[in-house]
Amino acid sequence: MATGFAMILFVALANLVVFQYAAGVVRSALDTGARSASLLDAPLNACEIEIAEVLDGLLGGAMGDGVAYSCALDPTGQTVVAAATVTLPGFAPMVPDWSFDAQATAIKEQAP
């Protein structure tokens, strides 16, 4: 029984490490997406395409399914803003899901 409890606790702690990894992937994806749409001749949807590619490569499966993201230009048109709402499922029944919001910004290049 003690071994069983230890395993559950170990899975819960490993889950925290995976959550940290997933949060890092989401931030990286948003940064990459915002940067890709900030180039002078890049359309806004380049941001979401880039985010999807990063997430497909680094955060597939059920964890990737919990990431909802969008990209927009700020009202001044000078900054690309990529935002995501993330819900990561817990591995074990006793581990709660983790939800957080993340955002990234990049300066939009302007024609001279």
Partner 1 sequence: MIRDERGAAAIEFPLAVAFLLIPVAYLVLMVAPWSARANMARLAAAEAARAIVLSPTADPDDALVYTLVDTIAANHDIPVGDVDADLCVTDGMTDVEKAAATCDVLVRGSVVTVEVTVRIPLVRVPSIGETGGFSWTWSHSELVDQFRSFDP
CA-based nearest residue to 104, from 57, 53, 40, 51: 51
Q: Give CA–CA dist 112/108, Å, rounded.
A: 12
Query: Which C-beta is closer to partner 1: that of 32 or that of 66?
Result: 32
For the CB of residue 40, give the shortest distance to partner 1 in the complex, in Å. 9
Query: Which C-beta is closer to partner 1: that of 16 or that of 68?
Result: 16
Q: Give CA–CA dist 81/83, Å, rounded.
A: 6
Query: Which C-beta is closer to partner 1: that of 23 or that of 49?
Result: 23
Q: Give CA–CA dist 83/11, Å, rounded.
A: 30
For the CB of residue 69, give the shortest distance to partner 1 in the complex, in Å. 14
CA dihedral 54, 55, 61, 63 (to 10 degrees): 150
- Residues in contact with partner 1 by CB under 8 A are 1-2, 5-6, 9-10, 13, 16-17, 20-21, 24, 27-28, 31, 102-107, 109-110, 112
For the CB of residue 52, give the shortest distance to partner 1 in the complex, in Å. 20
Contacts of 3 (CB under 8 A, 6+ apart): none
Query: Which C-beta is closer to partner 1: that of 62 or that of 111?
Result: 111
